[in-house]
A and B are shown apart, each in its own frame.
Chain A
Amino acid sequence: MKPAPFEYIRPQSLAEACELLAGDEDARAIAGGQTLVPMLAMRLARPAKLIDIMRLPELAGIRQQENALVVGATTRQAVADQDPLIHAQVPALARVLPWVGHPPTRNRGTVGGSIANADPSAEIPLVAVTLGAEIMLATPDGPSSMTADDFFIGPMLTTIAPGECVSAVKFPVWQHKRIGVGFYEVSARKSDFAFASALAQVALDEDGRCVDIALGVGGVGDRALRLDVSPLLGTRLDAASVAEAVHAVASDMDASSDLHASASYRRRVATTLARRAIEQARAEAGARALKGAA
């Protein structure tokens, strides 16, 4: 359980980091290292160089942009979990963060690291895919970006190229007044890898009708999936409509089988969790208005 030798470099700027990453195909970026260091310890990864991007000022901080919240790549999960802006503007992210690893790994693990790692059962990529976040990249040719949907390819696989590094994640901020979030996850123990998870965010109008809805499932296939439940727009999210809409998109989704759970189990559980997540989100959004009226 000792990593193979490597060279450790701490660049002073993001441009320098990209240059170093582009200059050697055996170079890897490290931030919190909560997934990379175990990979090194088990020698599943043997990079020649580790480029430490944790303290680069360009990757730090959380800032508001028009209709979006830009979370710097090196924002630690524990910091994001306590951040009032994230709670107010991207409640879906705030909801899943307590499920990301354990307190000690959240104290070092970063938001950008979880995105770049692209674990199919990871919660932060699930939020990015469900909400349609934009992944901001630093490349040797300057900043670039792509949608989360294009970014994630498969298990631990992204479209990131040598010399590129995730610089931030731009989460859309819904402007509706009545927003609710629902999240459920099934795993062997809390904070272990999810066998299946579902995240829903809904917006209701004053009448209680659904005006916006996003639904995603994680852990089922080889990456987080956004499910199209747009037939629910305009409904009151009654149980029958929700069940029908979820069944239509979830019953034939790609699912993977492994030691822990079969594909059909994952699909069944994800379908049920998706229904419950929408119900929880609807209830939360509904309660918000009651509070406002009182």
Chain B
Amino acid sequence: MKVELRVNGISRTADVEPRKTLLDTLRENFLLNGAHAGCEHGVCGACTVLIDGEPVRSCLMFAAQADGYEITTIEGLAPAPGELSVIQDAFCETHGLQCGYCTPGMILSAHALLQHTHTPSREEIVEAISGNICRCTGYGQIVEAVQFAADRLQKSSILRPEQVRRGHDAPKEGSLDAAKTGAPAEIVR
């Protein structure tokens, strides 16, 4: 069947079997290999992507279910080719990654958290990455990386008040956020 997906701001189509997960579609059809296949049954979080800005396991969703949403993969975070987002950079600086397998999922989960708050408590960080399993770096440095990124975002010019607006202008029909009451703060580039 034919599916039309919005991935990293671009509309794309793919011809897939109904049983093809969003994860496999991103990797095989769109060559977005930053979404990693780990357990493939919703336990490890390596396949995390953002759906309308919120983290979701792409192995637990079929491509056929994903039309109409804004899908963001790790490839969509960097401001420009060859650059890193503040959070990606923070993971490098604090040694928040070793083998890197869990890293895209960790960073996307952290990204969603830091869209909601720029002053997360340690508990909030731990909760935000609680669905992402790391088996080598250790969570200490990952938590540190998110904290470091939050500090930088807080201090950086990216977060001048006039550049942060509350909520979405108008939630799209059928969007994951349509039913949500308090929409998260959003950074405007």
B57 touches A82 (CB 8 A): no
Cα A82 to Cα B183 in complex, Å, equals 10
A79 touches B180 (CB 8 A): yes
With CB as the reference atom, state the residue of chain B lying closest to A5: B19
Contacts of B61 in A (CB 8 A): 33, 37, 108
Contacts of A104 in B (CB 8 A): 45, 48, 54-57, 109, 131
A54 interface hit (Cβ, 8 Å): yes
| Nearest CB of A to B39, in Å | 7
| Nearest CB of A to B189, in Å | 24
Contacts of A23 in B (CB 8 A): none
Cα A54 to Cα B179 in complex, Å, equals 13
| Nearest CB of B to A112, in Å | 14
**A to B contact number (C-beta, < 8 Å):** 102
Cα A2 to Cα B20 in complex, Å, equals 8
Q: Which of B1, B19, B109 contacts A3 (CB 8 A)?
A: B19
Contacts of A33 in B (CB 8 A): 60-62, 65
B42 touches A107 (CB 8 A): no
A103 touches B55 (CB 8 A): yes
Q: Which of B60, B127, B131, B179 contacts A38 (CB 8 A)?
A: B60
B181 interface hit (Cβ, 8 Å): yes
A50 touches B18 (CB 8 A): yes
Q: Which of B60, B130, B182 contacts A108 (CB 8 A)?
A: B60
Cα A52 to Cα B18 in complex, Å, equals 12
B57 touches A105 (CB 8 A): yes
B54 touches A107 (CB 8 A): yes
Q: Which of A79, A83, A84, A103 contacts B130 (CB 8 A)?
A: A103
B174 touches A103 (CB 8 A): no
B40 interface hit (Cβ, 8 Å): yes
Contacts of A41 in B (CB 8 A): 40-42, 59
A76 touches B179 (CB 8 A): yes
A8 touches B18 (CB 8 A): yes
| Nearest CB of B to A87, in Å | 11
A177 interface hit (Cβ, 8 Å): no
Whether A1 contacts B181 in the complex (CB less than 8 A), given A33-B60, A105-B57, A191-B130, comes out as no
Contacts of A108 in B (CB 8 A): 51, 56-57, 60-61
Can you list 26 residue pairs at the A/B interface with Cβ under 8 Å? A1-B41, A1-B59, A2-B19, A2-B24, A3-B19, A6-B18, A8-B18, A30-B65, A33-B65, A37-B61, A37-B62, A41-B42, A41-B59, A50-B18, A50-B62, A52-B65, A60-B179, A61-B179, A75-B179, A79-B179, A102-B131, A103-B55, A104-B45, A104-B55, A105-B131, A108-B57
Known contacts A5-B18, A37-B42, then 10 further A-B pairs from the complex at CB < 8 Å, ordered by chain A residue:
A2-B19, A34-B42, A52-B64, A54-B65, A102-B131, A103-B54, A103-B127, A104-B131, A107-B56, A107-B176
The 9 A-B pairs with the shortest beta carbon distances in the complex, nearest first, are A102-B131, A1-B40, A8-B18, A38-B41, A104-B55, A37-B60, A41-B41, A107-B54, A3-B19
